[in-house]
Amino acid sequence: MAKMYYENDVNKQALLGKKVVIVGYGAQGHAHAQNLKDSGADVTVALYEGSKSKERAEADGLPVMLTADAVKIADLVMILVNDETQAAMYATDIKPYLKSGSTLAFAHGFNIHFGQIIPPADVDVIMIAPKGPGPVVRTTYLEDFGVPALIAIYQDATGTAKETALAYADAIGATRAGVLETTFQDETETDLFGEQAVLCGGVVALMKAGYETLVEAGYQPENAYFECIHEMKLIIDLVVADGFSSMRNAISDTAEYGDYTAGPRVVTPEVKAHMKGILTDIQDGTFAENWILENRTGRPRFNAMRRMQKQHICEPVGADLRAHMKKH
């Protein structure tokens, strides 16, 4: 197994005396900034003029500056705005003001790997990618634990890039759970594939297909929602906690038998072939090119698909059930 890094592997002084700037204060930005602050780092939040996040960041006890002004004094700049906005923002508000010998950091490798951001040669370029959503990065930190993370070094101008990456990962709580070293390419390609083929695209399509199959066969929509959508989290929680075998020990033998016999009928060799096609599109840049072009042209296809998906027949059923399940 690849080496995992934990708290004892970290030089706790690596961020000492350094000005850390977090660009963006969304789901990941707020978690990183607050965790760093609570770990004793000198943190400033960088936002654009008129950002609605300014009041929230200041209410959380964090100083806020305009991005260009913050980068001028930064020793480490972590970019945590959306992938599709990073390149333009970098060109105007970060690149002209980066100090030689400073660190440029990312939580996802998209813009570096696909050449949308070309960093200068005299800065370190690192990645610290928590394997969980921002709110969980924050809540687990407050529980004296953390979300595991990946680190990667794209450019080591100072000779201390890895030391900095580990210290940053430690300060957001990731070394409590474990940190694995990878590359920008591997993180980007596996992350995109996981999102598309399994975690988001694959799982959502599977749940919707199951729901539609039951409803079209005349079963109650609420039953279909519980069986094909609501219970997904319960099963996944068992898998995440202790693996597939443990999950199968927790379900009935009837369910386990159905798992073995029906699973291969759903995820057929043809489905896996489609997955390989998805991976190829990611590896050769086709997906990145399409997504970049989609954003440059105002997102017409993306917005149309978003509207269509919100109108799926399971959405009102799910909303009604969730409202009734909430504690009063």
Catalytic residue ranges: 108
Q: Dihedrals φ, ψ of 153, to 5°?
A: -115, 115
Q: Report yes or no: 230 and 321 within 8 Å, Cβ to Cβ.
A: yes
Contact 150, 4 (CB under 8 A): no
Query: In sequence order, which residues have a C-beta less than 8 Å from that of residue 60 and are 6 or more positions away?
Result: 30, 33, 34
* CA 74 – CA 87 distance, rounded (Å): 19
Residue 152 makes CB contacts below 8 A (sequence gap 6+) with 109, 126, 127, 129, 165, 181, 182, 183, 184, 186, 187
- SS3 category, 210: helix
Q: Which residue has the tokens 């030391």?
A: 163
CA–CA distance, 71 with 21 (Å, rounded to integer): 7
- Tell me the H-state helices in the chain: 27-38, 54-59, 67-72, 83-89, 110-113, 134-142, 161-171, 184-193, 201-216, 221-225, 231-250, 253-266, 269-283, 286-296, 300-310, 314-325
